Amino acid sequence: MYQYDEIDQTMVEERVAQFRDQVARRLTGEISEDEFKPLRLQNGLYLQLHAYMLRIAIPYGTLSSRQLRGLAQIGCTYDRGWGHFTTRQNLQYNWIKLEDAPAALADLAKVQMHAIQTSGNCIRNTTTDQFAGAAHDEIEDPRVWCEIIRQWSTFHPEFSFLPRKFKIAVTGSPNDRAAVRVHDIGLRMHKNDAGEIGFEVIVGGGLGRTPFIGKTIRDFLPKQDLLSYLEAILRIYNQFGRRDNLFKARIKILVHEIGIETMREKVEAEFAVSKHGALKLPQEAIDQIAVQFAPPAFETLSGISAEYANAFRTDFEFGLWARRNTFKHKQPGYSIVTISLKKEGAPPGDASAEQMNAVADIADRYSFGEIRVTHEQNLVLPHVKQSDLPAVFKALKAWDLATPNVGLASDIIACPGLDYCALANARSIPIAQQIALRFKNWERAHDIGELKIKISGCINACGHHHVGHIGILGVDKAGEEFYQITLGGSADDQAALGDLIGPSLNTKDAVDAIDTLVETYLRLRKSSDERFLDTYRRIGIAPFKEAVYVSA
């Protein structure tokens, strides 16, 4: 995986020095809170309900074991021994003191990490497929492009004061696991008719209070033009994106208001000039980055390993886990393991420092020291030998990290909600916990199969509720927490926004309603192969609506 060279290291250290100076100037009152705010935000520091929250960038969700141990150490030194993995493949600490923040960032820089541009109206951490470089269905490793984008967007002088935040996602697989159609820019790698690999460029997607599925602005962009094209889009957005209303400032609103055709005309006109400029990527520069993402030294294996087959046959729990939490690797004899951070009843995405250290050890022993963070708030061991799977399962189980529920009803995405967040209208974590407990019975959960439940505590939609098969949005009704339910959303290659089933419900009724929706699905599905989402698409909203509201 990518290693900083001296230049990268110098840059993060200079950034820490800059921020230390900014904090000092704020503490002496030389700069006002209003002027300090964008500076701290661009270093990942938010003021939350009870304390500062520090958001660490995990570039494209890739971590080394050394970095994960670094995160555990920072969690112990400056927080309460925990970290929270987010839907941006990032990590957040919820209890940071302002005066400690520069020291925490300095510790982070020691393990080649930072919090640069994890907040603020700038280009954020680029996200991608958590299985990048390992998945069997991948066309090309998207991390190479994420790293190229990371470097280009870091301290970009023109785009540090955009109308609003800007998020880019890349998928290198036709099976989109990076939700590229709900990002400001989504890049989907594919082959054109001539057999060349390039990008479909999608623009103007996003969730939040006005959700949109992104539109294709260009079917095929040659690789060497990627940065020129991104800069062209950003330049149009920086100049013409709305700045009069915070809620209408994202690029999705610009694209919606001027239309994708006008947007395309403007971007293409800019690109027609800029494509010949200094941003054009020489093949050698691409290769120089790509070599850092070369696959690890896999063994040449064939057939099914005896240990694996045996464990699958004899150890029921292992079989359950292996079926749900492993994914096909491109290298024969290897698997990708997803570590669920969704033990039923626990806050989704939380990991203790001890758990982080344990995962780092397991990764060193069984996965070439590599870990990934998923946008669904889980961790991944990308390269595990199948013969090691029983041992990995055992090691994870010892740390309560082997819940066999990946992709199931209890694998819930939830934002921090009103427990932490100053924007929230309702709590997300407690309702996620209550729902997950309803699906604790493995037999029922596995019978239900894939079901993505996503919960946001306010319309800013950090919990991606619009694209949940079942989406839950917290609202405030005269001081009481209520929840709106949507059905049929999806963030994959057939991205769709969910439909509202009816009036919002109080906490208890909302949790019951999820049960009712699932029972309705089980009753009406054609076969056990038909997923909740497929059934919904086939029969529509009416039977679900009736089940929740008429029987209630």
Partner 1 sequence: MSLLKHGRLVGEDAFQPVADDAALPASGAVLVTYARWQAEKEQLSGRNAPLGIILPNTVDALDFGPEAERFDLIVLHFPKFSDGRAYSQARLLRERFGYRGELRATGHVLQDQLWHMQRSGFDAFEIPRPDAVEAFAKASRTFSHVYQPTGDGRVSVLKQRLAIHTKNGPDSQEAAE
Contact status: 291 vs partner 1 (CB under 8 A): no
Nearer to partner 1, 16 or 341 (CB): 16
Q: What is the rounded distance in angstroms from the CA atom of residue 516 to the CA atom of residue 63?
A: 40
Determine which residue in the list 1, 2, 16, 22 makes contact with partner 1, applying CB under 8 A: 22
Rounded to whole angstroms, what are the CA distances from 215 to 109, 117, 185, 261? 37, 25, 9, 10
Nearer to partner 1, 11 or 304 (CB): 11
Would you give the binding string for partner 1 spanning residues 244-283, x where CB under 8 A is met? Answer: -----------------------------x---xxx-xx-
Judged by CB under 8 A, which stretch of 15-23, 303-311, 323-331, 439-447 contacts partner 1? Answer: 15-23
Q: 206: which DSSP letter?
A: B
* Min dist. Cβ of residue 239 to partner 1 (A): 5
Contact status: 121 vs partner 1 (CB under 8 A): yes
Would you give the binding string for partner 1 spanning residues 124-153, x where CB under 8 A is met? Answer: ------------------------x--xxx
What are the backbone angles phi and psi of residue 203, rounded to the nearest 5°? -135, 150
Find residue 63's DSSP bridge partners. 371
Contact status: 235 vs partner 1 (CB under 8 A): yes
Judged by CB under 8 A, which stretch of 14-22, 69-77, 495-503, 506-514 contacts partner 1? Answer: 14-22
Contact status: 7 vs partner 1 (CB under 8 A): yes
Q: Which of 507, 339, 371 is nearest to 430 (CA)?
A: 507
Nearer to partner 1, 125 or 405 (CB): 125
Contact status: 18 vs partner 1 (CB under 8 A): yes
Three-state secondary structure call for residue 235: helix
**Encoding tokens for residue 207?**
């969730």
Sheet with 185-191: list strands edge to edge: 127-128, 168-171, 185-191, 197-203, 215-222
Residue 294 near residue 376 (C-beta atoms within 8 A): no
* Min dist. Cβ of residue 288 to partner 1 (A): 6
3-state secondary structure 416-466: CHHHCCCCCCCCCHHHHHHHHHHCCCHHHHHHHCCCCEEEECCCCCCCCHH
Contact status: 39 vs partner 1 (CB under 8 A): yes
Contact status: 293 vs partner 1 (CB under 8 A): no
Q: 233: which DSSP letter?
A: H
* Min dist. Cβ of residue 538 to partner 1 (A): 47
Q: What is the rounded distance in angstroms from the CA atom of residue 163 to the CA atom of residue 12?
A: 25
Sequence-distant (6+) residues with CB within 8 A of 278 are: none
* Min dist. Cβ of residue 12 to partner 1 (A): 10
Contact status: 60 vs partner 1 (CB under 8 A): no
Contact status: 288 vs partner 1 (CB under 8 A): yes
Map the footprint of partner 1 across residues 454-513, applying CB under 8 A: none
3-state secondary structure 454-499: EEECCCCCCCCHHHCCEEEEEEEECCEEEEEEEECCECCCCCECCE
Q: Which of 38, 273, 233 is nearest to 149 (CA)?
A: 233
Contact status: 4 vs partner 1 (CB under 8 A): no
Nearer to partner 1, 35 or 99 (CB): 35
Would you tell me which residues interact with partner 1 (CB under 8 A)?
Answer: 5, 7-8, 10-11, 14-15, 18, 22, 31, 35, 38-39, 121, 148, 151-162, 227, 235, 238-239, 243, 273, 277-279, 281-282, 284-285, 288
